[in-house]
Chain A
Amino acid sequence: MKLAVVGKGGSGKTTTSSVIARTLARSGRAVVALDCDSNPNLGISLGVGDEETERLVSMRQALDEGEEEHANNWDTLISRYGSDGPDGVRLAVVSRIDNPEPG
């Protein structure tokens, strides 16, 4: 089951994504939250904290700069580059953040 949350920057996309992800995890589903925004802060709204959010963003940057081998499939990405958050939500940052658009 794949859900995409879209909208103009500042519309409340990230808050919406975070509450949906946490709620579905509480209902017993295995939930992966993917931060695809070029201004990645889904981790903060999920309750992962700003330090861990920043760590995931740095990891994504390292991927873009070729310092790490690119994850070439779903399992690799989630297990190597994901982080466990509240209610068991697994978070991964997958956006390209070299050219962030203003939110």
Chain B
Amino acid sequence: MSPEQLLGSVDFPEDDVVVADFEAGVGTLTRLGEEHVDTVVIVVEATPKSLEVGARAAALASERTVARIVVVANRIRHDEDLETVKAAFPGMEVVGVPHDPKIVEADRKGVAPIDLDPNGPAVLALIGLASTLIPTSN
């Protein structure tokens, strides 16, 4: 099954959460039907190429029935980086994630960033984002 077929499958349990790490680029989004996802998280860096892919993803997500679109401004080194991303996505929700060498270290070691440095700035920013994505279960 392709990712988009799977996400459209009728027997997906309603209370479960699926977090789908899509292929690089916007290919899967172009093939995605209506109501296959509830939330699209667009990860960008403050570089022209990354913002361009992000803008296409935002346009495609906006054409679909998506309850929420969140832009993650990743590897923020200066305030200007965050401003650059916000300017590229006017009126949209943008969450900044700071540059954090521990993420690179986790990649190098082949371990989970949330295990290597659970209180690092990047991990904490992403935990903060995650906690806004679904209503609390209790």
Binding site for B on A (CB under 8 A): 1-24, 27-39, 42, 44-47, 49-50, 70-75, 77, 86, 94-96, 101, 103
Q: Is the interface of A mostly helix, strand, loop or mixed?
A: mixed
Q: How large is the interface on B (under 10, 10 to 19, 20 to 34, 35 or more residues)?
A: 35 or more
Task: Find out whether the CB atom of B43 lies under 8 angstroms from the CB atom of A1.
Answer: no
CA of A32 to CA of B19, assembled, Å: 6
Complex contacts, B29 vs chain A, CB 8 Å: 4, 6
Besides A7-B50, A24-B133, A47-B112, 7 more A-B contacts (Cβ < 8 Å) are A5-B19, A8-B49, A11-B45, A27-B131, A28-B137, A34-B19, A73-B9
Instruction: Report whether over half of chain B's contact residues are helix, strand or loop; otherwise say mixed.
Output: mixed
Q: How far is the CA of A33 from the CA of B32 in the complex (A)?
A: 18
Residues of A within 8 A of B57 (CB): 6-7
With the chains together, A24 CA to B61 CA distance in Å? 23
Residue of B nearest to A45 (CB): B112
Docked Cα-Cα span, A47 to B138, in Å, equals 27
Contact B21 A11 (CB under 8 A): no
